[in-house]
Amino acid sequence: MADLFAQEGERPFQNDTTGVLSPSLSDTLASDTIPLDTLPTSDTTTVAVDSSQAQGDIKTTIDYSAQDSIYFDVVNRKIYLYGDAKIDYGEVKLEAAYVELDWVNNMLTAKGMPDSTGKVVGQPLFTEGAEEYQTETIRYNFKTRKAYIKGVLTRPQEAEGYVYGESVKKNENDEVFINKGWYTPCDCEPGETPDLYIKSRKMKVVPGELVVSGPFNLVITDIPTPLGLPFGIFPMPRRENSGIIIPTYGEERRRGFFLKNGGYYFDINDYVNLTLLGDIYSRGSYGFSIISDYRKRYAYNGGLNFQYNRQLLDPDGAEKEEANDFRLTFRHTPQSRGNSRFSASVNIATSSYIQNNPTTNVESNLRTTLSSTVSYSTSFRNTPFNMAMSFRHNQNLLTEVFNVILPEVSLNMNRVYPFKNIVTSRSNWLAKVNVGYRMSARNQFTNERVSTPSGLSTDIIANRDPLADSVLAINGDNLSAILDRTQTGVEHSIPISTSFNVFNYFTVSPSFNYEELWYLKELDYDDESIPGKVIVNERNGFSRASSWNTSLGVNTRFYGLFNIGGEKIQAIRHTVIPSVSLSYRPDFSEESYGYYQRVRLDDEVLIDPNTGYDRNEKLISIYDGFIYGAPSPGKSGSVGFSLNNNLEMKVRNDKDTTENAKATRKIPIFESLSLSTSYNLMADSFKLAPLNISGRTRLFDNKVNINASMSMDPYSYVKDNFEPFDTVGTQGTSSFKVYENFTRVDRYAWVPSDENDGFKLGTITRASLALSTNFQPKKKKGKDADTKTENADVTEEELAYINQNRSDYVDFDIPWSIRLRYNLSYTNDPRRRQIAGEEDKVRQSVMFSGDVSVAPKWKVQFSSGYDFVNEEITQTSIDVFRDLGCFDFQFNWVPFGRFTSYHVQVNVKSAMLSDLKLQRRRAWQDF
């Protein structure tokens, strides 16, 4: 038997004799492997050839199938597959309308076939490992793994973009040699012309490494451009590799021509990398950056970024004034395991760094404070104790105040219930008795001004350091002075409390708290050695101060329901949470404790008629200004009162379209409205504390948030006859102000007197009002689901980076969004009334930001505000984004203010062609 048919009918074919290889299948194929009488008669034929029967170069089982028919030429050892043919040979897979399998020559040939209309369909799709080739025709040798392909479109593994060639040869190393081809970073389908591609007659693709081309030019929207080079090398690594980073170039008015962010990237290993970058300017400025990131899966990740810049502030000046700025950021985030945890977030910079090196991020440019935290915590197994150690840093870029807490150690004991096993009922008050413990130790370095002890002016202290009123620069010369300002202390606290119910409606909570402070020095005030002066001495040595207080709290909750029964509003519910507390604290300023000293400023006794106190005598703590302060002076036996209210309406839900006619929803009138004050029964004066009022609510279906607060002093103020006026600043300048001084007297503001202009409850010392809203249309349910799916694998670090760099991430699916915030604040010191100069009691501003999609793939973002006090527009920025397929268009504009600038850039999205961009910028230094 010479021929074998899977179905009736014979298909013409041509023998392919390319290559001379040894036979690959024995003559027993027809009779032993595929018996004639067992052939299937369905439309689909699937056959498997076992490699155990092969004597040639085929190394594994070949599975093949065809939708139409399979024709076997046993004499020439060839198989022909027609209609949706499929070949599966290990890592090699092939799909095509027609496939020819030559066992003698180990050759595989595939091509498309014309349909009834003459259109070629079923063009070969060839896959080898991770590489996929969409072709017109292909010939592949099983033994040599070489292939000759026509009209191929492929996307090299893990590379960005596609490669096309009219004729292609592939060798055994999967390297591809292309004649008349192009490369594009754009998404592309067979037969489609991309928006942008690089065209060359000769190209070579090394998968996972690079694309090399001969002379090439850039083609945009199928229009050839003169942009090109005699040769091209486009890296496309499957993983990160070390290499040179090409710098960007440009010009600034102040610093001249520049090359920025050029350097070298080191791919050290799979866990850590290192990037070294440098900047250089033609007018003398320069800088460099050291960037390193590390990650160990399921353990930790982090990174370090150090930046240094030397800038000539006035390159044309005779003195060549320069600024040396640096910034150091470091982060370490672990995945919690076991009982211990180490984390770090460090952000340190020179005070002028942000001002001299702004970015297009408006929020970053307006930042005035920096902070850092490095912490380690652990818990002790089978004990209620845990410990934490930390380093903290706070820095004000405007005042140049720098505070470093190194170290801060805390030891905590979780509350224990020593009597819970003694009593039979767990609801018994004795079972609820709990004891805790907390120890905190802190060592703080600072360059801040040294404050004078309370009640003492700077001119009355005889031995005051001349540098005490200065903020010290951070340098080696001031190191000893900064160390002198170091503060060290330890605080211990032992709280004891319990609770029980009375009459089922009242909860009673008694408590006792003991505190102890440890210091390494204390102050001594000498008011006798120099008449009219005070010498403040520091006595080194261990010093301790203890204090205690006790309290009893009672609180309950009750409700009121007002049934209205209206068509829209059905009821109003009022929730009231009153709380009353009793507390007692001894007077720790008594001489027996030794924590305070009475200091005379002058031998003359000067009694204030309003208060009855001697103005020339002050009660000052020996721990005044220390890190944990001192026990409070004055005996206190106060009654505290607070009242919290919640008011909400029950209305018919018009949005409910179900048959439930009783569907309702709740609308808050006041989510919280609270009042609080206290009355000190044991004080000899000023027994009533200020009244604090705060409230918050939401309006218009939770679209608008409102927060308000106020504090009111209930006592009267009269003119100070001893120091009636106070002058601040230099006359003729904007800082010049004149104040009239007042003295607080022990008389309620509503009590009639000669000074009262009329009835009033008190003096408002502070008030604030904040309104904020955020409007945007709702996303479609499908897009919400897609978003949740896409964000499922996003890490917390990636989300934090996105929140800090929102301009790098544009959501075109949201047609528009608006964010508004209005702030109004009022501060009033009743002891001083301004009578000359610009008043600064009221501060109000409005900030707004948002974005709008003006057209598909067009997004405009904006951010601005208005300061009503200074009557000026705050920092404003406008950003325009355009998605151009495989291009991005970005425009950033700061139209006025400190950082006036603009930046226009058109770039290719592909990381391989990241240097292929057109940009124009005018930095803030150029204006």
Please give the full DSSP string across 101-143, using - where no structure is assigned. EETTTTEEEEE-EE-TTS-EE---EEEETTEEEE-SEEEEETT
Query: Which residues make beta-bridge pairs with 680?
Result: 638
pLDDT of residue 289: 94
Beta strands in 761-916, from DSSP E residues, in sequence order = 763-775, 816-827, 832-836, 842-855, 858-867, 872-873, 877-884, 887-894, 901-908
What is the C-alpha separation between 758 and 212, in angstroms, rounded? 90
Report whether pLDDT(157) > 70.
no
| pLDDT over 80 (residue 202) | yes
pLDDT of residue 497: 94
Q: Which residue has the higher pLDDT, 665 or 795?
A: 665
Of 446-450, 592-596, 649-653, the range with the lowest mean pLDDT is: 649-653
Contact 354, 366 (CB under 8 A): no
Which among 907, 793, 915 is positioned nearest to 261, based on CA atoms?
915
Q: Note whether 565 and 664 are within 8 A (CB).
A: no
- CB count within 10 Å of CB 205 equals 27
Do 23 and 103 contact (CB within 8 A), yes or no? yes
Give the residue, 639 or 776, on which the prediction is more confident. 639
Q: Which two tokens stand for residue 499?
A: 């609770």
pLDDT confidence bin for 436, thresholds 50/70/90: very high
Average pLDDT of every residue of the chain: 81
* Residue 7, pLDDT above cutoff 70: no
Q: What percent of the chain has pLDDT over 70?
A: 82
- By CB neighbour count within 10 A (0-12 exposed, 13-18 middle, 19+ buried), where does 177 fall? middle
Give the pLDDT confidence score for residue 805 in this predicted structure: 52
> 28 in the Ramachandran plot: left (φ > 0), alpha (ψ -120 to 50) or beta?
alpha
What percentage of the chain carries pLDDT values higher than 90? 26
Phi, psi dihedrals of residue 519, rounded to the nearest 5°? -135, 165
Q: For 168-180, what is the mean pLDDT?
A: 86
In angstroms, what CA-CA distances link 114 with 71, 152, 470? 19, 18, 89
| pLDDT for residue 518 | 96
> Residue 829: what are its φ and ψ, rounded to 5°?
-95, 105
Q: Write the pLDDT tens digit of every residue in 237-292.
A: 555 678 888 888 877 777 888 898 899 999 888 889 999 999 998 888 899 999 99
Q: CB neighbours (10 Å) of residue 842?
A: 13
Taking CA 472 as the corner, what is the angle to CA 468 and CA 476, rounded to the nearest 5 degrees? 125
Residue 721 has pLDDT above 60, yes or no: yes
pLDDT level of residue 727 (50, 70, 90 thresholds): confident
Does position 713 have pLDDT exceeding 90, yes or no? yes
Alpha-carbon distance of 163 to 127, in angstroms, equals 15
Q: Does residue 18 register a pLDDT over 80?
A: no
Q: In which band, very low, low, confident or very high, does the pLDDT at 354 lie, cut at 50, 70 and 90?
A: confident
Q: Which residue shows structure tokens 């793939």?
A: 857
603: left (phi over 0), alpha (psi -120 to 50) or beta: alpha
Beta bridge partners of 763: 713
Distance CA 112, CA 106 (A): 21
Q: Are 405 and 388 in contact (CB under 8 A)?
A: no
Backbone angles phi, psi at 31, to 5 degrees: -85, -35
Tokens for 1, please give them.
């038997």
Stretch 446-469: mean pLDDT, rounded?
Answer: 87
Instruction: For tokens 């996303």, name the residue.
Output: 779
pLDDT at 794 over 60: no
What is the sign, positive or negative, of the torsion defined by CA atoms of 620, 621, 622, 625?
Answer: negative
Q: Is the pLDDT of residue 573 over 80?
A: yes
Long-range contacts of 665-669 (CB under 8 A, 24+ apart): 668/697, 668/698, 669/572, 669/697
Q: Answer yes or no: is pLDDT of 52 > 50.
A: no
Predicted confidence at residue 114, as pLDDT, reads 87
CA–CA gap between residue 101 and residue 25 (Å, rounded): 12
pLDDT at 784: 45
| β-strands 107-111, 3-5 pairing | unpaired
> What is residue 550's predicted lDDT score, i.e. its pLDDT?
96
Residue with more model confidence, 85 or 896? 85
Query: For residue 549, what are the β-bridge partners?
Result: 513
Whether 276 and 264 have beta carbons less than 8 Å apart is answered as yes
pLDDT tops 80 at residue 11? no
Predicted confidence at residue 798, as pLDDT, reads: 53
Residue range 491-530, pLDDT digits in tens: 999 999 999 988 888 999 999 999 999 999 999 999 888 8
Mean pLDDT, rounded, for 90-108: 86
pLDDT in the model for residue 4 = 41
Residue 13 has pLDDT above 50, yes or no: no
Q: What is the pLDDT of residue 44?
A: 45
CB atoms within 10 A of CB 97: 23
Q: Rounded CA gap, 597 and 589, in Å?
A: 8
Span 355-368, average pLDDT? 70
Q: What is the spatial distance between Cα 348 and Cα 363, in angstroms, rounded to a whole number? A: 17
